[in-house]
Chain A
Amino acid sequence: MHASATRVEDLRLITGHGKFAADWTLPGQLYAAFLRADRAHAEIVSIDTVAARAAPGVVGVFTGEDAIAAGYTKNLQMLTIAGRDGNKPLPTPRPALAHGKVRFVGEPVVLVIAETQAAAQDATELVEIDYRDLDAVIDPYVALAPGAPQLHAGVPNNQLFDWEAGDLPAVEAALGKAAHVVEVKLESTRVVPNPMEPRVCMIQYDAASGVYDVYTCVQGVNMMKKQLSAATDVPEDKFRIFAKDVGGSFGNRSPQYPEHTALMLAARKLGRPVRWVSTRSEGIASDFHGRANFVTGKLAVDAKGKMLAIHLDWVADMGGYLSPSGGASHTRNPATCLSGVYRIPALYGRFRLALTNAAPVAAYRGAGRPDVAYFIERLVDEAAVKLKMDRAELRRKNFIPMDAFPYPTPVGAKYELADFEGCLDKALKFADWKGFEARRAEAKKRGRLRGIGMATVIEGTGAGAFHKDEIALEYRDGLFTAYSVAHSSGQSHETTFTGVIAETLGVPHDRVRLVEGSTEKTLIGNHTGGSRSMVGAGSVCKIAALKLIEKATPLAAEALECEPSQVTFADGAFSGMGKSVPLMKLAADVTAKDLTALDVLGEGSVGSTYPNGCHIAEVEIDPETGVTEILDYNTVDDCGVVINHAVVEGQVHGAVAQGAGQVFGEKAHYDPQSGQLLTGTFQDYYMPRAGLLKRIRVEDHPVPSRINVLGAKGAGEAGCTASIPALNNAVLDALRVVGVTHLDMPLTPLRVWEAIQKAKKK
């Protein structure tokens, strides 16, 4: 439906009339600047703010003392499962402004508010902080070992949480008797989400009503309210969240940050709106980072290639504090798909969360799913090499067959229907897998190393923190308006949600509009994240439209002078007794008498869907420089029924490029001794640029989901989940012929070149 239509949201965005968070202004607004920790780990001995307070234009200076006095030291914690010893994750109190200690470079310590941005910035330089330096720890394995610097008094040995999933004795038995056990030790690198719009927060406090107006970037207003309330004990209904256009999210807009609550303190004390717009450097240092998972993995196979068991020993680097989503993202999420797309009788994963002197880690596009897919798919390739089997055939041999669905995995997930072999066959054909060796030979003649790699992956998407999703739908002045709390930050809800409604109602697409995050309507519902918007809120758009038709039917019967049972609805019109009335006309007539006559509230609860697919990447490496070029990239994804192919294709393009960024260059580097951030700006933090991904083919392989009315499965994250293993496997395939058997991301020219030189010397 509505294939490749120009998007509803485009016009304002291409003409410069979008409204992003920094585009809001309020009369009398004050400007905020944060002074941040310039070191990784230190005690705060004293803070002298006298000169800053006296500086021209400064109206307020706030420190950790103010945060402690207000009790702003908490955050919502989404990790609620019990650990190996039955315990919950240990809390890491984090005041809105650092108090007593700083634990990572970039942690906000002092907040200065002034009449102009420049005055606020200037005054931060007048603050004197006396620190007593402590040893820092960046490597999570070192952090967990005896004798490491300790970050939080309440977290012995820096271990926040220790959890396991699966059946250890069964896995150990399988490993003991298997014909082959392959092992990998891998790192899914720490990366910075870097949506192009920096973080922004402006807060206005109304003392009479006690209401905080919060202008900030969100993935959904409800999630932000819930977290702000949890952090401050201010009731949720005392927050109004203002957000229109959001410049990318990737998980980064979901959490409440300490800056939000620090600005609440200032807005309340000063009685004027306070506004903070992050610089990119502040963002790279203090936005929650992604990935940062370290794993030792084993895969047991029999002599014929049947997979018998997987064992993962997983350490997740959580940084200096446990973020709201970091724990759940890097334990429960990966465990859900510990079986990959394979029928494996025995699975076990042990997950430990470690503190380090780096920025906290949270959900980032995929949130643990790309990491587990990477570890499993690397193991599968290792097994294929060991068995001297074709990598596609080894996968095919172990796929969960279609007659085994719904498939309960040994770790408690229940995969819904999928066609792994169908995806694989299409991808093999598009990528000309069989013809590859000829291309490799041709490249060799030119002195190039050519490689091909694949990933067959699955991920759990769709379930959310709120128990249901609501969509309000009403007719006013010639338009149907839908209200949603799932916020788009590029996912095109204004096009796709309205498309679903228009198609269900049989009205022109431009007669339906979407309002996201309205401050007037209070709705229950999830934020955008975990690839859930179309699956959840999108499905409820259809439910709401059907409900509206149902509500209109008796009114149509009156207009048609017949019984409701005699009325039928098709193609946007009600018919009965040989007469018909278009919905648009009926809606105008009935709402002229009773404005709310057609108002409906659609609702639905949607569980997990399991999008899956096969990606094949082909690369060529120049051994003289170590430079890798991605020559071809083919994706076949089952994200259920596709509502708008252009939008899905765009999501896949973007996610594959984000995966490619992580594979080939992105990494938040910290000095392992001092804990200084070494990639603190876009000068030295690698970002994917035009040309990284030249040729990509995106093919749908829809197997409709049975758990939502649209048949949709999540689409936003699959590109990351599959591209990270597919690209790594392709590079290793190219390099195996020269004796390279292991590489860790980022696969920079230097790292690839060094690996080739090292292999030559062997």
Chain B
Amino acid sequence: MMKLTLKVNGQDHAVEVEGRTLLVDVLRDTLALTGTHVGCDTSQCGCCTVHLDGKAVKSCNMLAVQAEGHAITTIEGLAATVNAGDDLHPMQKAFSECHALQCGFCTPGMIMAASAFLAVKPKPTDDEICHALEGNLCRCTGYVNIVKAVKQAAGLPVDQH
């Protein structure tokens, strides 16, 4: 077992993990941040996407020990990165307003991936949005409203059909 300190949503947490423990398992099982989900075992689905120093990473695809010394943001802490923390991040709002979620299981990962993407590409094309979400799977929405939500969050005009 190894002792390390993880900075998650602005707070330091002292945790003890096995060398093989994945970051997602520490977030979910040790820190009880269950908004980060696990939907596959080959890093394809993106349900476990979090921010590491503001960049989207798949937390099933990195060891907990690799995250030490970095700032981790999960879906629970996303809103606080843009305001006092009692409101929603614009991407969260857009997902709800555009009906971009149904069952909601892929949603945290989608929102984390999409928000990190807009941070580096504030006015993307539809094709760029689709490309950016290549690593996030959704089985409910057909992605149409997800693309719409990302555009809305980016302040781009949204096709009503």
Contact = CB atoms under 8 A, between A and B. Distances in A.
A16 B75 CA distance: 6
B97 A280 contact: no
B142 A16 contact: no
A17 B108 CA distance: 10
B45 A280 contact: yes
Given A245-B104, A657-B143, A691-B130, A15 B137 contact: no
A196 B45 contact: yes
B42 to A, nearest CB: 5
Query: Which DSSP category, helix, strand, loop or mixed, fits chain A's interface?
Result: loop
B85 to A, nearest CB: 11
B143 A248 contact: no
A723 to B, nearest CB: 10
A572 interface: no
Contacts of B88: 14-15
Interface residues of A, number: 61
A281 B41 CA distance: 7
Contacts of A246: 103
B46 to A, nearest CB: 10
A689 B134 CA distance: 6
A195 B142 CA distance: 13
Interface string A649-668: 11001111110000000000
A692 B126 CA distance: 12
Nearest to B45: A682
Interface stretch (B28-36, B51-59, B64-72): B28-36
B141 interface: yes
Contacts of A14: 75, 88, 92, 95-96, 101, 104, 107-108, 111
Interface of B is mostly: loop
A695 B148 CA distance: 11
A20 B105 contact: yes
Contacts of A197: 37, 39, 103, 105
Nearest to A116: B18
Nearest to B20: A118
B103 A247 contact: yes
Given A14-B111, A15-B88, A492 B102 contact: yes
B137 A196 contact: yes
Contacts of A697: 161
Contacts of A398: none
A658 B42 contact: no
Contacts of A492: 102
Contacts of B147: 690-691
B38 A654 contact: no
Contacts of B102: 248, 490-492, 650, 654
Contacts of A689: 130, 133-134, 137, 143
Nearest to B21: A118
Contact of A682 (B42, B75, B129, B143): B42
Given A7-B96, A14-B88, A118-B18, A198 B141 contact: no
A658 B107 contact: no
Interface string A190-234: 000011111000000000000000000000000000000000000
A529 B111 CA distance: 28
Nearest to B97: A6
Contacts of A741: none
B106 interface: yes
A654 B139 contact: yes
A646 interface: yes
Given A248-B139, A688-B142, A20 B42 contact: no
A522 interface: no
A357 interface: no
Interface in B89-142: 92, 95-97, 99, 101-108, 111, 126-127, 129-131, 133-134, 136-142
A665 to B, nearest CB: 13
Interface string A602-633: 00000000000000000000000000000000
A20 B37 CA distance: 9
A647 interface: yes
A280 B41 contact: yes
A280 B146 contact: no
A644 to B, nearest CB: 10
A16 B36 contact: yes
Given A653-B145, A689-B134, A696-B144, A6 B45 contact: no
B74 interface: yes
Contact of A196 (B76, B139, B143, B145): B139
A196 B105 contact: yes
Contacts of A531: none
Given A118-B20, A681-B44, A689-B143, A17 B38 contact: no
B40 interface: yes
B79 interface: yes
B23 interface: no
Contacts of B92: 14-15
A280 B143 CA distance: 21
Interface string A152-186: 00000000000000000000000000000000000
A14 B87 CA distance: 12
B47 interface: yes
Interface in A679-736: 681-683, 687-697
Contact of A690 (B34, B130, B161): B130
A647 B145 CA distance: 11
Contact of B104 (A13, A118, A198, A279): A13
Nearest to A430: B161
A22 interface: yes
Contacts of A12: 104
A490 B143 contact: no
A681 B42 contact: yes
A693 B44 contact: no
B79 A15 contact: yes
A13 B101 contact: yes
Contacts of A9: 104
Given A650-B141, A690-B129, A690-B133, A16 B33 contact: yes
Contact of B142 (A489, A657, A683): A657
7 contacts: A6-B96, A16-B35, A16-B36, A22-B28, A196-B105, A196-B137, A696-B142
Given A15-B88, A693-B142, 20 more contacts: A4-B99, A6-B96, A10-B96, A14-B104, A15-B92, A16-B35, A16-B108, A17-B35, A195-B105, A195-B139, A197-B37, A245-B104, A280-B39, A281-B41, A490-B103, A681-B40, A681-B42, A683-B42, A690-B138, A694-B126
Interface of A: 4, 6-7, 9-20, 22-23, 118, 194-198, 245-250, 277, 279-281, 489-492, 646-647, 649-650, 653-658, 681-683, 687-697
- The 10 A-B pairs at the shortest CB distance, nearest first, are namely A16-B35, A247-B105, A13-B104, A657-B142, A490-B102, A691-B130, A490-B103, A682-B44, A16-B75, A653-B142
